[in-house]
Structure 1
């Protein structure tokens, strides 16, 4: 399947986060397809729109040497996934 044929989906997921005393949110782990993945590093935090619709705070993260876009949208977290 070519890159043009790959479609992104909005996949809501569970996220384990840390709130500091200033109220800042830092994601630590994501729970995806029954597995727990540690976020190795947050590369960037900014307000952004997603390619799959919706907008919120984008946490660009490194997870197992892959860069993933994790969004906090109002009260829920989602990732852009190739699997619905």
Structure 2
């Protein structure tokens, strides 16, 4: 089965910033104002998006039982690899 096309979508992120410098994203808001709660953060690592370009800190998150990547470009901008 062919993989769906992806596009880079910048999103608003609600996150906790801790005194030790760590960050835990809690929810994302898409361009259409849909809010998705992040159930769990599985991993955090520096990585590049091979599907839409860009890089930064990649959070592997669970949203409604689905695994997704959330990228922090470290300039205050966050993006996801959204299905077209």
Q: Is 1:65 the equivalent of 2:65?
A: yes
Equivalent runs, 1:1-84 vs 2, <5 Å:
2-4=1-3, 6-32=4-30, 33-51=32-50, 52-75=52-75, 76-83=77-84
Mind listing any 5+ residue stretches in structure 2 that lack a counterpart?
Answer: none
Distance in 1 (CA, whole Å) between partners of 2:80 and 2:2 is 18
Distance in 2 (CA, whole Å) between partners of 1:60 and 1:39 is 10
TM (norm. structure 1) is 0.90
Report how far residue 74 of structure 1 moved: 2.3
Q: Deviations over 1:1-58 (max 9, x none)?
A: x524x21111100000101110111100000131111100001000000021111000
TM (norm. structure 2) is 0.90
* CA root-mean-square deviation: 1.1
Mind listing any 5+ residue stretches in structure 1 that lack a counterpart?
Answer: none
